[in-house]
Structure 1
Amino acid sequence: MGRRSLWLGALVLFLALPGMTAIAQSRLPAFELERLELNPGAEGSLVVGMGELLQAGQFRLSAVSHYSHRPLLLFVDGTTHAVVGGRTTMHLAGAYALTNWLELGVQLPVVASQWGGDLSSENILMPDSFGLSTPLAGIRLGLLTQDSSGGLDLAVGGDVGFPVGNPNIFGSDGALRYLPRVMVGRRFGFLRAALDVGMLLRSRVDAISPLGGGGLDQLDNEVRIGAALVTTGRRLRWEINARGSIPLAKNQPAAAELMPGVRYLVNPSLEVFGLAGVGLGTAPGTPLFRFLAGGSFGDVTPRRGPGESSVRCDLGLSLSPEECPDRDDDGDSVRNILDKCPLVPGAPERAGCPRADTDKDGIEDTLDACPAEPGDAARQGCPVRDQDNDGVEDDADACQTQPGPAENRGCPLKDKDKDGIENDQDECPEEPGPVERKGCPEEDTDKDGVPNRVDTCAQSPGVEANLGCPEHEVPLVAITHKQLELRGKVYFEASQPRMQSRSFAVLDWVAKVMREHPEIPRVVVGAHTDDRGFADQNRQLSQQRAEGVRRYLIEKGVAADRLEAKGYGPDRPVDSNATSIGRENNRRVDFKIIRSGDENTDALQR
C-alpha cells in the first residue's frame, strides 16, 4: 500500500509540473518600447519638427533601417538583465502637403528582429522576435513662415498612435496614444535651429517584475522635447539632434539622446542619410546607442532659404544666375550676385561686364543710362526726349504727354475756344459755347435764331418774343433751365383726381415740348394742394393727380422713363393758405427738369 501511494504521488507531480512551470513563467506588461519617431516631411531635421512644411502638392516617402542596442533592461536584486539586448526595425514614412500650410504624415514601424538574454531563471518569457509596432498618423498646420524680411517658421500639429502593434514585441500600449506638439524654427545664414515641444499622452503601465524584487518602472504621460541644428543650402548637409523626455509620473525615469547625422542629395528626387546616437537614462526604450540609415524619394530637394543659393545649384542643373548667387556662371571670377553681366565674361573692374557700346554713342554701356539709344554725354548717353512732339524737350516740358506751345511750358492752352470754360471741363473745346451747354455751341433745329434750350417750338421757325414759336400760335409752356413753366393751369374736379377737359390744352403743349426736346432728360410731375383737410389724404390725392397727368403725357407720346409722378400734398406751398387766392396758387401742378449733375435734385430725393 505504501509503495502504491508513492507511485501515485510521483505520477501526479509529473503531470502537474508543466502546468506549474507555465504558471510560474509570465510576460512583462505590454507597452510601446520605441522612442524614436521620424519627421515624415523632413524638410529640415530627420527626427525633429522645425516648423517648416512641404509645399502644396509635394510628397516625400522614406524607408529607414534602424538598430538600437539594449533598449530595455531589467534590474532585479542588483543584477541587470537585457530583456531586449538588440532590436532592428524598418521604418516606412510618408508625408503629403495638401496646401502650403497643411501637411499630413504617416509612419509604419516594423520590428524585423529582436533578441535578448535568457530570463527563464527569473520566470520571464522571452518577447517575440518580430512583428508590427505602433503605426502613427499626424498632421501639421503651418502658422508662420520665415521670409526675406525675417520672422520664423511656426507650426502646430499632433500624432496619433494606433494600438494595432504586436504587444509581445513591446509594440503597443494597448490603447490610442497622442502627441500634440508645437514646432518652431529659424534660419541663421547657412544654419537653421529648431525646437519641438510635445506632450505624450498614453495609457498608464505599471511595468513591475512579477518577482516583486525590483524591475521596470512606471510608464505614463511625459513631456517630449527635441532640438536641432542643421546646415542648409548644400547638397551635403549635416544635422545634430537632441531629444529628451520629462516624465509626469513619480516613478518614471527621464531620458535623453544625442543624435548627429548626415544627408546627401543624390538627385532632385532621391536623398540618402544616416544618423547615430547615444542614450542617457534608464527609461524603457532608451538604447545605449543606436544608428539608422535610409533614403527618401519624392520632393526631397530643400527649398531655397532667404539669402542662400538653391541646393539644385550643386546638381549641375541649368539654373538662372538669380537662383545660384554664389556660382560664377560665366567664369570671369565675379560671383553671380555681384556680376551685372552674369552670362557674359567680363572684367571685375566693370562688375563682370565686357566693354560694350551697343548704341555706338561713344559711352560704355555700363555708364550709359540709355544703352540701346544713342545720346550725348551731357544726358548720360540718352537722346533728347520730346514725347508729345511739341518742340519742347521733356526736361523743360511741364506736360510731357500733351502737346502745347513753348510759351505755356509745353502745356496745352486751358481754354482753347475762349468761351470761358477750361478745356478739361469743356465738352466742345474747339467750339465756343455757353456754360449751360458745357461749352458746346447752341443748337437751333429750326434755324430761327432762337436756341433750342429756350425754343418752345424747336421744330417750327418763330420769333424770340413768342418763345421761338410762329406768331400765329400762343405757346402755353416756357422752357427754363430748372422747369417747364406753364402759361395756364391744370384743373381737377373738386377733391377728385380726375382732370377737367380745359386742362388738356396746356398739357398738350407740355407733351409737344418734351417730344421736340429729347435733350431734356427727365421731368418730375409734381402735384400740390392747399392745407385744407387732412394732410395724408391731401398727399394721397395729389399723388393720384400727378400720376393722372403722367399717364396723359405718356398717351401723347412722351417716353415713360422721362416722367416721374410725385404728390406733395400741402407740404410745398408757394403762397399763403390764409386767403382764397393764396390757396388757389398752392393748388397747382409743376414740371421740374432733372439734369445729370444738377444741384436741384430734391424733387427726386423726397
Structure 2
Amino acid sequence: MTAFMPNGTARHTPRQLSALLLGLLVLGASSLAVAQPDPSGVSLQVEHFEPLPNQNDNLWNVMGADTLRHLNWTTGSIFHYSKGLFVAETQSGEKIRLVDSVFKAEVFAALGLLDVAEIGLILPVALSQSGDDLAILNRAGDKVDGVGLGDLRFVIKGRLLDPADFHGVGLAFAIPVSVPTGDEVSYNSESDVRFEPKLSLDYRHELGLLAAANIGFYMRDERAMLNLVASSELRWSAGVAAPTGVEGLQVLGTIFGALGMGDDKNPDDLAQSAKQSVNSPIEFLAGARYNTPWGLHSSLGGGMGLNSAVGAPEYRLLLSLGFSRLVGDTDEDGIYDDTDQCVEAAEDPDGFDDLDGCPDLDNDADGIADAQDSCPNDTEDPDDFNDSDGCPDIDNDEDGITDDLDACTNEAEDLDHFQDEDGCPDDNDNDGVGDSLDQCADLPEDRDGFEDEDGCPDPDNDGDNVLDEYDLCDGAIEDMDGFEDNDGCPDLDNDHDGLLDGEDQCPDQAEIINGIDDEDGCPDQGESRVNITKEKIEILEKIEFKSNKAAIETKSLAVLNQVASVLKTHPDIKKIRIEGHTDSVGKAARNKTLSQQRAEAVRDYLVAKGIDESRLDAVGFGQEKPLDPANPKDGSNRRVEFNIVE
C-alpha cells in the first residue's frame, strides 16, 4: 500500500492497493491524524492556556511566589482570541480545522489569607467559536460553534519563601483543580476532575523586575482521540515582567508548554504507539501590563504556538481588565491600611493621636515607653544621667546648682569659696589634677608622662641628679663614668666601636676590625679590610669565587670574617642587602643566576658565622649594574657589595 509518514515522505509495500482507501486522514508529527472514525465520544479540553485568578501578582498563566495580603481581593476578566487551536490534516494535505477560532472570556476572583496563602477561582466562557465539520470524529454534520462554558478552576496557593526575607527570591506551592462544569461537545471540558500540583520560583529586584519559573504535574485520566493520546502531563512555564520607566507600566513575556506522559498513536496504524509531539504544545506570549495606584489593572498581549501540537494556536490575542482591593486592616486596629500610618502596629486608643493608626507608646516623646517611664508626661533630659527613668534630672550632681547653670553637671562643686558658682570642682594650681587628688595642690604638675597623676612636679624623673630640663635622656639614668656625664644619658659604648663598655676591655679606644681579636674592644695592629659608611659596609678586598661557580675561595674568608665581626659589633645595623654582580661576558641570564647563587653563598657563610639570617638579604643583579659602564666586560665589574638597608 501507499501511506504517508508524519513528515510527508512516501513509502511502498506489496499491499499498497489495499491501503488506498478514500477518506484516509493523516496528521503530521504534531497534528491529529485520522485513520478511521472515532465513535468513542471522548471528552477533551484542547485549550492549554489557563490564566491564573490573580492577575495583579502573576504573569497571565505564569505564577509568581507572592500572594495577596490578608483579606485583600482581586477580580476581573481575561479576554483572549485564538486561531487554529485544533487542526487535522488529510493524506492529500487538506487541513480540517476542528476548532478553528475561539473568543473566550475567563472571569476570575482571588482572596488573600493570613498574608501567606491565597484562594482563587476562574471560569472560562467561550463567547464565540467556529470550526469545520466534525465528520472525522464520527460527528458528521456537527460543528463547534456558539457559546460554550469551560471547566471551573480553583487555585489554592501558599507562599513558602518570602522574597523580602531571602534577597528577592520567593517560592510558592499551588494546587489548581479543574472541575467538569463545561461543554464537552465543543471540546471545552473533560469529564473528570483534574489536579496540577506546581511549584513557583521567582526573583524580584528592587527596581521592579520580576522573573518567574513554574513546574507542575497535570494529573488526569488517559483518553485517546484518533492518534492523540491525552494523559497526565509535565507542565512548565517561565515569564518575566520588566519596568518601562513609566509608573505602573511593565512589559511582559511568557513561554509555556507541556510534555505528555503517554505515547501518541501511529497515524498509519492506530493500534501502534509512536513518539510524536501531538500532546506537547509550546506557546509564547508577549505584551504589557498597567497597574493604577487605585487598584485598576489591565494587560494587552499576543503570541503564537511554537509547534503545531493540539492546543498550540497559530496565534493568540488577549486583553485583561481587573480591579484589586489591595488594602486591609493588617494590624486589626479598626483603621484600614490605606490610611493607617503604621499598618503592622495596632493603634493604642488612649485619646492621643488615635486616628493615625500608630500606637502612642511614648506620650512625652522622650524615647522611653510610657510603661517604663516614671514621668510619662515630663520629657527626660538626655544627659547620660539616670536617663532610663524617663524623668528630667534638674541637678544631676546634687551640688545645689541646677544643670542649666552647672558647667560640670555630673561633678559636684567643691564649695571651697573658689569659683563656686560654676558648679565644677576646682583645681587651684590648674595642673589638671583635682585638689582632692593633688598631693601638691599649690604646685602644678609638670606634664611629662612621669607620675603625672600625683599632681606634683618631677624635676628629675630618672633620679640621676641631672635635672629634666638639661637631661637629654629623660627616663634613662646617666651612668656617671666620667664620660659626658652632664647630658643625662647613659654612655653604653663610649668609643662607639659597637662593643658595650661592660664587655669592652678598652672602652675609650675603638676596636679596629682587622681580623685580630676583633671582639675584645681594643685596637690591634694591622689594617682593617672593612669600613662602615652610612650607606654600606665597604670591603677593601674583592671576594673571590671559583671560576664560573658560587664556591668562595679560601683566601676571601678572612674578609668575610671581618664583615661578620662588624655585624656582631653593630647591632644597630638591622638589615643589609648582599648584592652579587658580574661582568657582561657570557649570557645575561646565566650571569644573573650565577650572581644570585654567589650572593646566597656569602649570606650562608655569614649565617654560619652567627649572623641572624633575618638581617641578610641576598640579591643577584648579574651584569645589570656594572661598576665600569664603559667597560662592561672588565673583571672589575665582578664584585660583591654589602648595602645597608636599615
TM-score (norm 2): 0.47
Higher normalized helix content (fraction of residues):
1
- Compute the TM-score of the two structures, normalised by the length of structure 1: 0.50
